[in-house]
Structure 1
Amino acid sequence: MQGKTVWITGASSGIGAALAREWASRGAAVILSGRDEARLSEVAADCAEALVLPFDVRDDAALAEATSQALQWKGGVDVAVANAGVSQRSQALKTDMQVYRDIIDIDLTAQIAFAQGLIGSMVERGSGSFAFISSIAGKVGVPMRTAYCAAKFGLAGYADALRAELSNKGVSVHVIYPGSIATNISRNALTADGNKRGRSDKVIDEGIPPEAAAKTMVDAIAAGEREIIVAEGMEQAMGEMRRTPDQLFDQVAAMVAAGYIEKMEAEG
């Protein structure tokens, strides 16, 4: 990764911070984004070469400005990691509609906007990688997480379609499906009225250490894996049961290579 630049959203803690430290240890320059500038700076202190770009992922103007700065810093972004997100712990029956809007805005729409701002530069260079952090809950509908599942399923769908479109452009797309990782995701999850839950789950507290998860993720991206499941036990089994066969990804890429996009555009 020497000479490469990695931009990570949600980099102030948890998986994002661990990914930043892992890539930095491999020689990458890292761009760290999130809302908490102080915590981003703490992560940056552990990285040999880092740029802190704090902003709220839902702020389109701030995202556009950050994208401009990120592209100018080293002349491009080699790996873009859409990691920012918030989880949920509430029954659909009791959940305010605004909670759905907020979670989908943060976990799906904002991550799409992040990627959209970088597609053109990567295609122009003919190289680059996108890594989208979904979840095992992006493969299996999990109770108490209807909004979160909707967003994470949606993020995977966007990423899979984007991969097909970019399959002949030199740009790779990876979707990561973590299970229980020992982070604050449960503590920060939204409840039925949109407030933070404020407490964690035993399964999360006893989950995979973020540092170990990050190493697995970075190794898999380097190996070119398109679908990356990072989980243990029952969660891993559920993810593997819903794994997309590589031949299906290849079949869709072959459609693109055969001119599917050009035919569709010609037909209007």
Structure 2
Amino acid sequence: MKTYQDKVIWITGASSGIGEALAYELAQSGAKLILSARRADALEAVKARCARPQAHLVLPMDMTQVACFADKTAEVLARFGHIDMLINNAGVSQRSLVKDTALAVDRQIMELDFFGPVALVKAVLPHMLARQSGQLVAVSSVAGLVATPYRSAYAAAKHAMVGFHDALRAEVHAAGLQVSVLCPGFVRTNVTRAALTGDGTTHDRMDGLHDASMSAPAFAAKAVRALARGQGRIVIAKREKWAVYLGRLSPALLARVMRQARVF
């Protein structure tokens, strides 16, 4: 996808954080957006701040309510006729040790961060295959390549997103589809406040690493450029990107580093 002008792009988790920043960047580049998240009022506010707000559609949805995805996809197609790109960005993070995390919380994170996005891919994929055109984008994380303490279920879900989309990329290449996985490092958003603790309550505070992290608009600008080039795995991070490279060079050394790492 060399240009975003008039491209139809569906973004989940678009009400705040990375999704919101991607919406502004893509709208400025001429895209027509479908903005999805649970809160319609927040989505309307994002739409109003986008370039050409009249070109975009607010489509509230809960990523754990997968039974509605076929109808939501049909609604998008009825409005725009096709979908050029799906960005599966919705998700929740975690701040709890394995020993302190209820299994129900592990399942909750996996449902939102993995099974929901997979279900939406399956709803959109037949349309893209029929057109032999489209780009499927997953927002994973550096934690989807390098697991850290206090994020066991989150890392598991984000690793699963990488694996799923790597397999999908191989399957749909001959059909002309592109599959990209964004792996952000620390980005300044409210994701840490909304992160789940071991009993399912929210972390409700910002992490100490917040001030030194990348801004959401800076991340979005880099991500949009990389996606336009059709890149597969895209790591966008500051110092934490070196953990990815270290893991490839020496998994044993990375393991020692992770035992000492400051992760929030």
Q: Same fold (TM over 0.5)?
A: yes
Residue number in structure 2 paired with 1:165? 171
Rounded to whole Å, the distance in 2 between the matches of 1:206 and 1:173 is 30
Provide, for residues 167-202 of structure 1, a one-character-per-residue CA deviation record: whole Å limited to 9, x for no partner. Answer: 111100000100000001111000010001100112
Q: Which residue of 2 aligns with 1:128?
A: 134
Residues 1:16 and 2:22 aligned together: no
Alignment-derived partner of residue 238 in structure 1: 243
Contact 1:140 1:238 in 2 (8 A): yes
Q: What is the total number of aligned residue pairs between the two structures? A: 242
The one-character-per-residue Cα deviations of 1:213-253 (angstroms, maximum 9, x if unpaired) are: 001001001112111001001x111123457xxxxxxxxxx
In the TM superposition, structure 1's runs of 4+ consecutive aligned residues that sit over 3 Å from their partners are 240-243
For 1:38-57, what per-residue CA distance to the aligned partner results, in whole angstroms no more than 9, with x for missing partners?
A: 11001111221210000111
Match of 1:51 in 2: 57
Q: What is residue 150 of structure 1 aligned with on the other side?
A: 156
Render the CA deviation track for 1:96-115: whole Å, top value 9, x for unaligned.
00010000000000000011
**Structure 1 residue 203 displacement after superposition:** 1.2
Q: Distance in 2 between matches of 1:105 and 1:61?
A: 13
Offset of residue 63 of structure 1: 2.2
Q: Distance in 1 between matches of 2:44 and 2:245?
A: 37
Secondary structure (helix, strand or coil) at the match of 1:87 reads: coil
Alignment equivalent of 2:125, drawn from 119, 123, 126: 119
Deviations, residues 80-128 of structure 1 (Å, cap 9, x unaligned): 0000000000000111000100000000000000111111110111110
Greater shift, 132-141 or 197-206, is seen at 197-206
Whose relative contact order is higher, 1 or 2, with alpha carbons under 8 Å and at least 6 apart? Answer: 2
Q: How does 1:1-268 map to 2 (within 5 A)?
A: 1-47=4-50, 48=52, 49-233=55-239, 235-242=240-247
- Percentage of pairs with the same residue: 42
Hey, what does 1:251 align to over in structure 2? none
Cα deviation for residue 204 of structure 1 reads 2.5
Distance 2:148 2:8 in 1: 35
**Structure 1 residue 65 displacement after superposition:** 1.9
> What is the distance in 1 between the residues matched to 2:45 and 2:212?
25
Distance 1:242 1:167, change over 3 A: farther
What letter corresponds to residue 77 of structure 2 in structure 1? L
Question: 3-state DSSP class of the match of 2:209?
Answer: helix
Distance, in Å, in 2 between the alignment partners of 1:66 and 1:240 is: 39
Report the Cα distance in structure 1 between the residues aligned to 2:163 and 2:110, rounded to whole angstroms.
14
Structure 2: gaps of 5 or more residues: 249-264
How far is the alpha carbon of 1:18 from its aligned partner? 0.5
Q: Tell me, yes or no, if the aligned pair for 1:80 and 1:130 is still in contact at 8 Å.
A: yes
8 Å CA contact 1:183–1:205 kept in 2: the answer is no
For the 8 Å contact 2:66–2:120, the answer to whether it is kept is no
Segments of structure 1 that go 5 or more residues without pairing to the other structure are 244-268
Amino acid at match of 2:23: A
Q: Which residue in the other structure is 1:259 paired with?
A: none
